[in-house]
Amino acid sequence: MAAQGNGTPGAHFVLLGFSEQGNVQVVLFMVFLVMYVITLLGNLGLLVLIWLLAQLHTPMYFFLSSLSFLDLCYSSCITPRLLRDLLDEDKVISHAACLMQFYFYVVFGTTECYLLAAMAYDRYVAICRPLLYSLSMFPGICLLLVAASWLAGLTNAALHTGLALGLSFCSPNAINHFYCEAPPLFALSCTDPEPNELGMFLMAGVNLAPTMLAILLSYAFILAAVLGRRGAAGRRKAVSTCASHLAVVLLSYGSLLSMYSRRSSRSSRQPDKVASVFYTMVTPMLNPFIYSLRNQEVKAGLWRLMGRKHSAEK
């Protein structure tokens, strides 16, 4: 049954996902399942570690715990549905469920952009203005930055979803993607999706440009401060505190830019699927390990926690 129009009872879409891969879908299911489990364990583990260890109750780790929570939400918005579709021949998703997934996907994606910018600003203050750090990054301002990131995500998602509600859909109703992402959804519209495509393109610029600028400026000042410091030890410490965050930024923004650098919703979707897998599954899985493996405080806290547990068992 094709989706006959916006708001039509029983209207639905079919998520093609990786149908063209045929028998490989079972292998993909196992790979994506392992990735999702690692994502859950890694981000939940980092959240628990930061919550349990008092020495990690600092602005940097507050932002990191917020990122871990966001990655859990992001991955859970996409992956469980994909896992079901890989084993189920009926890949149908209702019109309402599709728009809901689209809404939360935009919320989490936009929020992450602003949160990464807030984390870059935190590193800038810590390295370039260390004497003012406690005054500039007190708990209230950290909470405000995280809340503002979520508000930006909710606002952007409401605008996009509101525009999508104005579309009507005709046969064929097959979305050439593994989740309800904007360009392949717009491609099915009976009405002209030009306003939606233009809105997506403009809002991507409105949200990506200032957050990328904030990150680039923060790291430009950080680089200047690091190069101006005397002593290799001070430089190494400054670089180590930023390397993890910079790696996460490159992963996230690299995937985003590859997906939204083109306005056309009717171009080939295969490269976009690869970029989407990277952005929605690989990056949330890698984030906690990038931070923990590169961060001496996290590793020391983990060993300290394990040491307490071992002593308690004795």
**6-64 pLDDT tens trace:** 444 447 888 888 877 667 888 889 999 999 999 999 999 999 988 988 888 899 899 99
The predicted model scores a pTM of 0.86
Q: Is residue 5 part of a domain?
A: no
pLDDT score recorded for residue 296: 67
Reply yes or no on whether the pLDDT at 177 is more than 90.
Answer: no
- Domain-embedded: residue 197: yes
DSSP assignment string, the chain: ----STT-TT-EEEE-TTGGGTTHHHHHHHHHHHHHHHHHHHHHHHHHHHHH-GGG-SHHHHHHHHHHHHHHHHHHHHHHHHHHHHH-S--EEEHHHHHHHHHHHHHHHHHHHHHHHHHHHHHHHHHH-GGGHHHHS-HHHHHHHHHHHHHHHHHHHHHHHHHHHT--B-S--EESSSS--HHHHHTTBSS--HHHHHHHHHHHHHHHHHHHHHHHHHHHHHHHHHHT--SHHHHHHHHHHHHHHHHHHHHHHHHHHHHHS---SSS-SHHHHHHHHIIIIIHHHHHHHHHHHH-HHHHHHHHHHHHHHHHHH-
CATH code at position 174: 1.20.1070.10
**Would you place residue 174 in the very low, low, confident or very high pLDDT band (cuts 50, 70, 90)?**
confident
- What average pLDDT does range 105-125 have in this prediction? 93
pLDDT at 8: 44
Average pLDDT, the chain: 82
- Please report whether residue 1 resides in a domain: no
Domain of residue 169, residue span: 12-313
* 6 is a domain residue: no
How many domains would you assign to the chain? 1
Least trusted range by pLDDT, from 206-210, 264-268, 279-283, 295-299: 264-268
Asked if the structure places residue 152 within a domain, the reply is yes
Confidence band, pLDDT 50/70/90 cuts, at residue 276? confident
